Amino acid sequence: QSALTQPASVSGSPGQSITISCTGTSSDVGGYNYVSWYQQHPGKAPKLMIYDVSKRPSGVSNRFSGSKSGNTASLTISGLQAEDEADYYCCSYAGSRVFGGGTKLTVL
Amino acid sequence: QVQLQESGPGLVKPSGTLSLTCAVSGGSISSSNWWSWVRQPPGKGLEWIGEIYHSGSTNYNPSLKSRVTISVDKSKNQFSLKLSSVTAADTAVYYCARVWSAAWGPFDPWGQGTLVTVSS
């Protein structure tokens, strides 16, 4: 299966909100509510931020939220902070699993 | 709190077999979870390799299936990855992770990752 499509980069100023999209097909993102999002700082392991499209694990800030419309899932980060600067990856069930190509978030 | 730790050779020769182990601590590998391997080539994105249940049931990435074997050792509370016929394209940081919450659920937590370089 093909990787999910994410923008290569997004940026925002502290305090602003940004949204990262993750576009797939009806065979993955659009067909199941098994979309998760991961944050990865340089040299570190990924960290789960959102699962099942919009659920937030215990300990993850409520500034992070997820949603889905059709074949596109989205991660929104509100009240941007410097520590949010990282790479973000979406992942979907697709009969197996498929990741997005990743999005580099820069906090200006 | 479950923790995972990858181990294995950091250098593998082309055409050889990559072998890694993931030790699980703070919980039992026989719990109701699947256990997964994910890799990340230097400077690139994440790629799912496959996962295993303690019963031995497996799911593999179709693009790697012919070269991948994932196994579980309940006596040692660990699971392993073997990737055969490796090339430079298999050079990556390899992560193990627990599949949390349900089958096909999210990956949480992750191990710290181990870099495997394929080179002669």
pLDDT tens track for A21-58: 999 999 999 999 999 999 999 999 999 999 999 999 99
Is B107 in Cβ contact with A96 (below 8 Å)?
no
Beta strand pairing call for B11-12 and B3-7: unpaired
Of A45, A52, A98, the CB nearest to B110: A45
- Rounded to the nearest angstrom, the minimum Cα separation between B53 and chain A is 15
Q: pLDDT tens for residues B11-55?
A: 999 999 999 999 999 999 998 899 999 999 999 999 999 999 999
Res. A9 pLDDT band, cuts 50 70 90? very high
Neighbours of A25 (CB within 10 A): 17
Is B45 in Cβ contact with A102 (below 8 Å)?
yes
For residues A67 and A54, what is the distance between their CA atoms, to the nearest angstrom? 5
- Contact at 8 Å (CB) between A71 and A25? yes
What local confidence, expressed as pLDDT, does residue A89 receive? Answer: 98
3-class SS at B40? Answer: strand
Provide, rounded to the nearest whole percent, the portion of chain A with pLDDT above 70.
99
Hey, of A22, A97, A98, A104, which one would you mutate to test binding to chain B, going by the most B CBs within 10 A of its CB? Answer: A97
Average pLDDT of chain A, as a whole number: 96
- Rounded to the nearest angstrom, the minimum Cα separation between A106 and chain B is 17
Give the A-side interface with B, CB within 8 Å. 1, 3, 34, 36, 38, 45-48, 51-52, 57, 89, 91, 93, 96-102
Query: How many cross-chain Cβ pairs, A to B, lie less than 8 Å apart?
Result: 57
Is A51 in Cβ contact with B106 (below 8 Å)?
yes
What local confidence, expressed as pLDDT, does residue A34 receive? Answer: 94
- Contact at 8 Å (CB) between A20 and A40? no
Is A89 in Cβ contact with B105 (below 8 Å)?
no
Give the B-side interface with A, CB within 8 Å. 38, 45-48, 59-62, 95, 100-101, 104-113
Q: pLDDT tens for residues B50-105?
A: 999 999 999 999 999 999 999 999 999 999 999 999 999 999 999 999 998 777 89
Q: What residues contact A67, with CB distance under 8 A and at least 6 apart?
A: A53, A54, A73, A74, A76
What local confidence, expressed as pLDDT, does residue A95 receive? Answer: 85
What local confidence, expressed as pLDDT, does residue B103 receive? Answer: 78
Res. A105 pLDDT band, cuts 50 70 90? very high
